Amino acid sequence: MHTAATVSEAGFDLTIKRNCSISPQDLLGVLALAMCVSFGIACAFAWFGAWPVLPFAGIEMLALAAAFYVNGRRAGDYERIAFAGGRLLVEACDAGCVARHELDPRWTRLHERRLGGEVRLLLRSGESELEIGRHLIAERRALLAASLRRRLSH
């Protein structure tokens, strides 16, 4: 996961993004190559009389295209955490849906919830609870928690 942080006199701004190592065009190229190879092998088997292989090759490629589509919808997910104007702003984008939350830092506390071996970070303010740092590995999540605790204590 990729993080970009800016800390200035005006405030604190942290953006957490998924690491997308392949462009959409390259992903389509990989899918096209996989389709050519799969259908080429299926056609060779069909040529020798095993024609029922063709529908299964089509189902396999539909499943692969669906997996690439689902993965691509999540490629642009991000979280943005900022302290500005005496407010704590949290913006989260999940599968293209953007949710913005504005919290009062004086009444907001950071809590950790352990689920199995994983630690989840939760911002609590009054009755509301908001999970943050979902796209980070455990070590980075711990650094985020320490940084936020320092900012919330001031």
Other CB atoms within a 10 A radius of the CB of residue 55 amount to 10
- What distance in Å separates the CA atoms of residue 24 and residue 20, rounded to the nearest whole number? 10
Give the mean pLDDT of the chain.
Answer: 86
Q: What was the pLDDT predicted at 35?
A: 95
Q: Is 134 helix (H, G, I), strand (E, B) or coil?
A: coil
Q: What was the pLDDT predicted at 3?
A: 54
Which CATH class for the 2-20+76-153 domain? mainly beta
User: Given a cut of 80, is residue 143 above it in pLDDT?
Assistant: yes
- Point out the least confidently predicted range of 5-14, 87-96, 130-139: 5-14
Instruction: Tell me how many degrees the CA angle 86-91-92 measures, rounded to the nearest 5.
Output: 155
pLDDT tier at 4, thresholds 50, 70, 90: low
**Residue 13 in tokens:** 């701004």
Sheet of 118-125: strands edge to edge?
Answer: 108-115, 118-125, 128-132
117 backbone dihedrals φ, ψ, rounded to 5°: -95, 5
Whose CA is closest to 40, among 69, 65, 64, 61?
Answer: 61
What tens digit of pLDDT does each residue of 77-129 get? 899 999 888 889 999 998 888 999 998 888 889 988 888 878 889 999 888 88
Domain with CATH 2.30.29 in the chain: 2-20+76-153
- More confidently predicted of 23 and 32: 32
Residues above pLDDT 70, as percent of the chain:
93
User: Given a cut of 70, is residue 130 above it in pLDDT?
Assistant: yes
Q: Most distant CA pair in the chain: distance in Å?
A: 75
User: Given a cut of 60, is residue 8 above it in pLDDT?
Assistant: no
* Inter-residue contact 69 to 80 (CB < 8 Å): no
